[in-house]
Amino acid sequence: MICQNAITKKGLGESQIHLEQMILAIFIMNPIMLNQYIVNDNWFELGIHKIIYSALKQSVVDKHLDMYKVQELLEKANFDYFNKIMDSYVSSALLDKHLSELEENYKIRQTAIIMEQLSLHQIEYPTFLENIRQIEEQTQYIDTLVEPSPNDIFDEITLSNQSLIFNRLSNLNLLKLEKNTLNVIAARPSVGKSGLALNIFNDLASTNEYDCVYINMEMPDRDIYRRLVSMNTKIPMWHLEGLEKCSKEGALVMDCLLSFKDKDMKVISHPMEINSISTVIRNEQKKGKHVIVFIDYLGYIKSSKESNDRERLGKICRDLQIMTKEYDCTIFLLAQINREGADNPTVNNLKDTGKLEQSAHSVLLLSEIGDYDVNNDVQFIKLVTGKNRESLKNGKMIMKYHKKIQRFEVSTEEEAKMHKGGKI
C-alpha cells in the first residue's frame, strides 16, 4: 500500500502496518464512520497511526473532515505520511473485517505481556485471570446510528435530478441512468462500444453539468482525439491525417480542440490500477461538479493480488461499484460479450466475470443490425438494456452509427428496416 522504508519499529510486522493503513484510509474517505465505530487508540501499534487516528476524530465536522484542522494537528512529516495514506483506495465494505483483525492483534499483544508478567512472577495467578478477562471484554462495536427524520426521508425520496441528463443523445434520457452508479456498456469487438462511450462522454461534457474523464487503456491517445474531433466537426477521421492548420478544415479542428478546454473533459491514456482510478476521481472532485468516469475497458485494469482473472475482475467490479457511493461519482465501464451473444446478447453473455452483472446498476448491450459491410459508412446498432434498476429491463433502442465520423445518432426501427439486410 505505502512504502515503509521510512517507518521501522522492532517487532512490528509489515502486515500490521498495512492493516492499520487500510483502516485509516477508510476513515479518511468515510469520515462519518469515525462516529459510528468505537476504536481504542491503543489498538494501533504504530505511534504515527495513533496520532493520525486521534487527529481524524477531532476533525470531523458535519460528517466531513476539516482538512485544515487535520493539518493543524499533525506535524509536517506526519501530514505528508497522512497524504500518502489518503492516496490509497480501500473498500469501506472491509472495515468490519479489518477492525476485528486489529482488535484481535491488540488482544494477542496484551495477552503476551500479561503472560510474561506471570512468568516473571510480577503478578499473581488470580490477577492474571482477571487481566485476561478484562482483555476479552474489550470489544469493537458500532454506535447507534442516528435515525433520519420523516422530513429527511421525504427530501431524499423526492429528490429530483438524480438521473444523468443527456443533450444531443436525448433518447438516452429514457433509460434514467442514475448518478452514483456503475453502468456497463458491452459488445463484441468492433461493434462500437468505444464509439458509443465516447459519444456519451462528449455529450455529457457538453452540458457543462458534469466533470467527465475518459480513461483509455486500449488505443493510442491520438485515436481518441481523432474520434472526438470527427464526431464534433463531422470531418472523417481519415481526412485528419496531413491536415494543415491554415486550411478551412484545419481551423475548424483547432476551434473544436479549443472548445474541449472550455469543458470539464479529460482523456487519460495509459493502464491503471484501482488506486490510480480513485486518485483521479478525488482530484476531479475538487472542481465541484459531479464526476463521471469512463473506463475502456474492464480487462485492462491492472491488479496483481488475485490468483486468476475471474477473481481479479470480480474484485475490480465490486470496488468500482463501492467507489461510486464513496466518491459521489458515476462510472461507465466497457466490457466484452462472448461469441454466443453476437446477435442477441443478454447479461449471460458478459465475458470474464459474473460479478459484473451483480455490481452494475445498468447493462447496455450493443449488437449490429444486419450484415456488416465494410464499404458502408452507416451501421445500425441495437441497444438493449439487459439490466436497468430504474427503467424497463430489455428495453430496446435503435441507433445509427456513422463510422467514418464516429458519430452516434438517434434512429428508428423503420429506418433500420430500410437498411440493407436490416432485421430487428
C-alpha to C-alpha distance for 172 and 169, rounded to whole angstroms: 6
The parent domain of residue 408 ranges over: 170-418
Computed over every residue of the chain, the mean pLDDT equals 86
- Contact status, residue 73 vs residue 82, Cβ threshold 8 Å: no
Residue 235 within any structural domain of the chain: yes
- Report how far residue 167's alpha carbon sits from residue 142's, in angstroms, rounded to the nearest whole number: 44
Mean pLDDT, residues 39-61: 92
End-to-end CA gap in the chain = 50
Closest listed residue to residue 293, CA positions, set 259, 261, 266, 325: 266
Residues 6+ apart with CB under 8 A from 306: 312, 314, 315
Same domain, 86 and 232: no
Task: Tell whether 135 is covered by a domain.
Answer: yes
Q: What is the per-residue pLDDT for 4?
A: 43
- In sequence order, the β-bridge partners of residue 380 are 400
* Whether residue 223 sits in one domain with residue 124: no
Sort strands 362-368 and 396-402 into parallel, antiparallel or unpaired: unpaired
Buried b (16+ CB within 10 A) or exposed e, 273-296: ebbbbbbbbbebeeeeebbbbbbb
230 neighbors 405 (Cβ within 8 angstroms): yes
pLDDT reported for residue 181: 95
Residue-level pLDDT at 307: 62
**For residue 148, is it within any domain?**
no
pLDDT of residue 354: 73
Give the per-residue pLDDT at 7. 43
Listed residues 122, 142, 162: the one ending a domain: 142
At 138 the pLDDT is 67
Q: What is the pLDDT at residue 26?
A: 92
Q: How far is CA 254 from CA 168, 222, 233, 245, 257, in A?
A: 22, 14, 10, 7, 5
pLDDT band of residue 353 (cuts 50, 70, 90) is low
On whether both 133 and 180 belong to a single domain, the answer is no
More confident residue, 302 or 177: 177
129: domain CATH number is: 1.10.860.10
What CATH number did the domain enclosing 250 receive? Answer: 3.40.50.300
Helix (H, G, I), strand (E, B), or coil: what is residue 397?
strand
Q: Domain check: are 136 and 179 in the same one?
A: no
Question: Mind listing the pLDDT tens digit for each residue in 99-108?
Answer: 989 988 999 9
pLDDT for residue 16 is more than 60: yes
Are 29 and 115 in a shared domain?
Answer: yes
Would residue 9 count as lying in a domain? no
Task: Answer whether residue 4 is part of any domain.
Answer: no
Q: How far apart are CA 350 and CA 345, in angstroms?
A: 8
111-146: per-residue pLDDT in tens?
999 999 999 999 999 999 998 888 877 655 555 455
pLDDT class of 156 with cuts at 50, 70, 90 = confident
Does residue 356 share a domain with residue 314? yes
pTM above 0.75, yes or no: yes
pLDDT of residue 146: 56
> Does residue 154 lie in a domain region?
no
Average pLDDT of the segment spanning 247-258: 95
- Whether 345 and 383 map to the same domain: the answer is yes
- Per the model's pLDDT, the better-predicted residue between 227 and 301 turns out to be 227
User: Residue 270: which of 339, 221, 205 has the closest Cα?
Assistant: 221
Q: Which of 333, 332, 336 is nearest to 352 (CA)?
A: 336
- Confidence (pLDDT) at 9: 44
Alpha-carbon span 358 to 125, nearest angstrom: 54
137 found inside a domain: yes
Say if residue 21's pLDDT is above 90: yes
Q: What is the pLDDT of residue 8?
A: 43
Q: pLDDT tens-digit profile of 301-348?
A: 887 665 677 788 888 998 999 999 888 899 999 999 988 877 888 888
Q: Is 247 exposed, middle or buried (0-12, 13-18, 19+ CB in 10 A)?
A: exposed
- Structural domains in the chain (count): 2
Q: Do 89 and 195 sit in the same domain of this protein?
A: no
Residue 393 — very low, low, confident or very high, per pLDDT cuts 50/70/90? low
- Asked whether 361 and 163 are in contact (CB, 8 A), the reply is no
Is residue 303 located within the same domain as residue 399? yes
Q: Report helix, strand or coil for 396.
A: strand
Query: Do residues 268 and 249 touch, judged by C-beta distance below 8 A?
Result: no
What is the percent of the chain where pLDDT is above 90? 50
Which whole number is the average pLDDT over 276-299? 90
125 and 182 within one domain: no
User: Among residues 142, 159, 191, which one ends one of the domains?
Assistant: 142
Residues 279 and 383 in one domain: yes
Q: Which of 207, 177, 200, 186 is nearest to 324 (CA)?
A: 177
Say how far apart CA 112 and CA 126 lie, in whole Å: 16
305 in the same domain as 256: yes
